[in-house]
Structure 1
C-alpha cells in the first residue's frame, strides 16, 4: 500500500487531490448482531479500508456540525433591520379617488320642466376613508351649487357601516342621505388604483344631460312684424258694445261638485272674454266677482306653444293658430274655456240683434236648465219588532235620536179627562173565569184603553190593574199598518179581543150613552139602539114598585121597594156576609154614617156592583146633605 504523497497538506481549496491509485471505495459495515439482536457497530477503518484518524469526530458531533451555520469561519450572522413603518395618513396623503356622477331632482312647482339632472363629482380620500360630493358651478343656473356634502365618513346602512373604496365602481347607484347618485366614470388614477387592488371595473357610462339646460341652448325665436289690422277702426265702431251670454257649469259628476251659473261677456272692441260668477244670497260662497279676467282666449294653440312659459309671458299671435270669436258663442252649445265646459242657455236682447244682423241667425232659443227635483223616495220601514207601539218604533228609522210621534193637540184639549167606561166579562172555557168582571176605560184624548179587574174576596184571583194605558190593535190587522180599537167598536154585546183574550161588553155608564147619542155618526144604528134599550131597561122601575107607590108614602115606599128589588136581584151576591162588618169597622162612633170617599172604597173592596142603576138610586136616597151616606139602609139591601 503506497502512502498518499499529499498527506499532511491543509484541507484547503487547491491542496486536496484524489488518490488515482485507489480502487476500493466500499464502506465498512456499521450494523451487527449479538445474541440475535441488531446492534450498532463502530467501523474501525474508513472508505476503501483506509486507516481512520485518531481524533475522528463522533456521529453526534458530526450531526451537530452539519446542522450549524458556518459561524466558525464567518462568525455570528447579523439580523436584517425591520422595514420602516409608514402610517396611512403619510402613505395615502393627497391620494384621492374621483368619480363622475349625477342625480335626478323633481321640480313640482315648475311649469317648464318635470325633473332636473344635476352633475356632481364624488371624491374619496384614501388617508381617512372620508368622502365629499361637490357640484360644479354652472353659469346662470339659478341653483345654489358647490359643496353639496362636506368631507366626512358617509354611512352605508343602518347598522353603522360606512362606505369604503371597495364599494365604489362605475355604473352603480349609491344612496347618500336619501339621495341616489349614479356613478358614470372615474379618472385615470382611480382606475389604476382600483385595478391594482384586484377590483374589476365596469365599463364607463354616459353622463345624463339636463333637458331644461339643453332647451335653453336652442336659438332664440324670431318674431315677425304684426299685421296691418286697423285696431282704431274696430275701437271706434264697437266701443261699449258687449255680448252677454248666460251659461252654467255642471260639475255634479265629480265629488262635491254642483251646478253653478255664470255670465260670459264678449267685448267686440278688442275680442276679449270675461267670465263673471253669479252669486245669490246666502249661497255660502266667497264674494269673488270674476272667474276669469278680461283677456283674449286662444282656441287652437301651436305645437311648440306647449313649452312656452305661459305663467310668465302673455300669449301672442305666434303661439295661437285660432282665437275665440263671437261666432263660437252659440246658445244651446257647450264651450270649453280653461278646462271647464260651459253650456250657454240664453243671451240678452242686444246679443240676439247682433247675431241676426251679423250672422243671420234668428230666433235664438232660451233653454230651460233648471233641474226638477227627483220624486221623493218612499221610505220603507223594517218589520215591526213587537216592542212598544208601531209609531214609537218607527221613529228609530226617521232620525238618529228618536223623537216622540206627533200628537193631535186639539183632540187632546177637547177630550181632556173624557173617559168612556164599560163593564165586560171574559170569554174563557175555564170555570174560574166565568164570574170575573172587568172595567174597560177608553180615553178619548189619546185613544188608549186600560182594563181594571175589581178584586173579589176569597176568589183566588188577585184583582187590580189588568192592562195599563195602551192602544189595542184589532185582530187580523196588518203589522205595518195596524188598526186600533175606537169608540165605535164598544157597545152592548160587542166582543173586544185584547192580546189574545176575548171580552164581551155587558154594561155601560150613562156618560157612554150621552157620548154615543151626541156622536151617532161613529156608531152603527144597531149598536146605538142596543145600548139605549139596555140603559132604559135598567132605569125602568120594577112592577111591584109601581103598585106600592100609589098606596104608601112616596119616600118610604120608594126606599123599601128599592131595597126589596135589590135583595131579589142580588140574592146570590158574595158580599152579603161581610158588608155590615166592613162598614162598622170604619164607623168607630156607631153613628150610622160614613164619608162618601170611604163608602166607595168599602164598596169597591167588597165588589159591590155600584155601577148598577138600582144600586146607584139606593146610594142617592141614602146620601145626606153634609156629604155623608147612611149605610144602615144601604146594608139592608145586601143582608139577609
Structure 2
C-alpha cells in the first residue's frame, strides 16, 4: 500500500502513514490508437486516479529531444506568400513635405535698401524625391514671384548626390543653384513624418523680415506747413540786443585738466551763439579771442546725421531736429555745447530783465564758483602697537626724523627725588596670590610708577622688581587720548588697574600723608576720609599698645639710649616693609621665629645686650613681638 507523508513534514521514515480507506489501485492506460496506429501517451493521473505531481523530464527524454530533427519527420516547412508590392508613386502619392525658408539677395544699385529678404516655401515630394521652391506672391512688390525652381531632383554636391528628406531639418542652411536658403520651420505633417522616421528636429526659428517691406508699412510722411515767422521783424525788434552769460568749464577730472572761465553771448537778432574765453595774466595760454565763433548751435541731430562730415560741410536744417534757443540758457544749469559741458553761474542785468519779461523767470541766482581752500585734513595717528609710550611713538608721525617729546623741566626740578610709596595687595582668584604684597612707588617728577614685591622665603614666588618705571594708563581711557594715573588716584582702598592686574591700596607712608595735607584741594573727599580713618586707627592702636605694654617708661628710656648709640639707621624703612609684608592683618605683631629671621636677614646685632632688652620689652605673652616699638629705636 502506498503511504503518504503528513502535511507539513519532510518525507522521512516515521513521517508517513498508510491510507486505510483507499480501495482503488488501478493504473492508467499508456497506449492509445490514432488513425489505426498505436501511439504512446503520458498518463494524466496516477495509481488509483490520484493527482500526479509535476516533474521534470528524465535525461533520456532530454537526449531524445535534442537528437530529434523535425524536418526529417515532417519535411520542409512551407514559406509564407510574399507581401503585395506597392510602388512608391502609390504609397507616397500626394504626400509632400513643406518647409518655410528665406534667402538674402543683395541690392547694389539702390539708395533705400542694401539687401532684400525673400521668403519662400520648399516642397519635397516623397513619391519621387523631387523638390521645388515657390515664393509666395506679394502684391505690388515689383518682383517676378511664383515658382523659383521647378520640380526636379536637386543635386547636393559635385559627386552627383541628390537631396533626400533625411538632409532636411529646421534651423539649417541648404545651397541650391548657388543660393543659400535658411530653413526656419515646417508644417505639422512634415514634423510628424520626420519624427516617425527617427529624425530629431531642431527648434523652430523666427522668419526674417524684409527691412524695405517693413518700412513701407509705416504711416505716410506728414508735411508741415512752413511757419509764418518773419525774420525781418526779428531783426528790427532784437537788433543789437545780446544776452550775456558767465560760465565755467570744469575739466579737472581729466589728466592736466583745469577749471576755465568763459563768456557766452546769445544774439537775439538771429539766434546765434559765440563763446569767448576769459584770459588772465601769465596763464600760459595763447590769447585766442574766440573759442566758438558766432553761429547757430544744433541741440538735437537726426539719427542718420551721426556720420555726417560736419568738419567739412555746414549743418543744415535737414540734419538738425532742434536748435539752441534762449530758453535753453538757464543760470544754475549745465549746458552741453559741441560735446563740452559748461556750467552757467551768472548773467548780466539786461539778461535778467529779458528773462523776467519774456519767460517770467525772476530772481536768477548768482552761484559762487570761486575756488575754496579744502578743509585741513585731520591727522589720524595709526593704532598703538604697544611698544613704549603713546606720546613717544606718535613722534614718528609728526616728522621724518622723530624728536623726543617735550618734558616739563620745571616740574622735574621741583619734584626731583620726591616719591610716594604705597602698600598694596593683588586681587586675584588664585589662592596663592592673596597673600602677596606689593610696594607702589610714584615718582612725582615724571609721573611714573614702579612696583616692587618684597621677597618672602619659602613662598614659592620670586620677589623683586615687578614693574619697571613706566606710565600706567587708566582702563577707561582710549589709546588715542590716554589718561595716566596721578597721585590723586592713590589712597587707601583705591583700586589700581595695572595692565589687566587689579591692586588695592592697603597702607601709605608718612611722606604721602604730608603730601596729601599740603595738597588737600587736589584730592577727593573719599581719599581724604580714607587717610583720616587710617591715621585714627593707627593712633588708637599705638595708644592701646602703649597702655597695655608693661614698663612703658623703661621702654622709652631704652629706645632713647639705643638711638644715641646707633649711628646707621638706614635700614628702618626696609625693616618696616618686611614686617608689614608678614603682618597680613596689620595688627603690629609678628611671630617670634619670623621676627628673628627678618632681623638676621638685615644683619641686626641681636647679641647686643640693649637689643636683647628691647626685644624683651616688645615681646607679648602669646609669643609675638610688637615690631612698631622695636622700629622706633631705629628712627630719629
Q: TM class, shorter-chain normalised?
A: 0.3 to 0.5
TM-score (norm 2): 0.39
TM-score (norm 1): 0.38
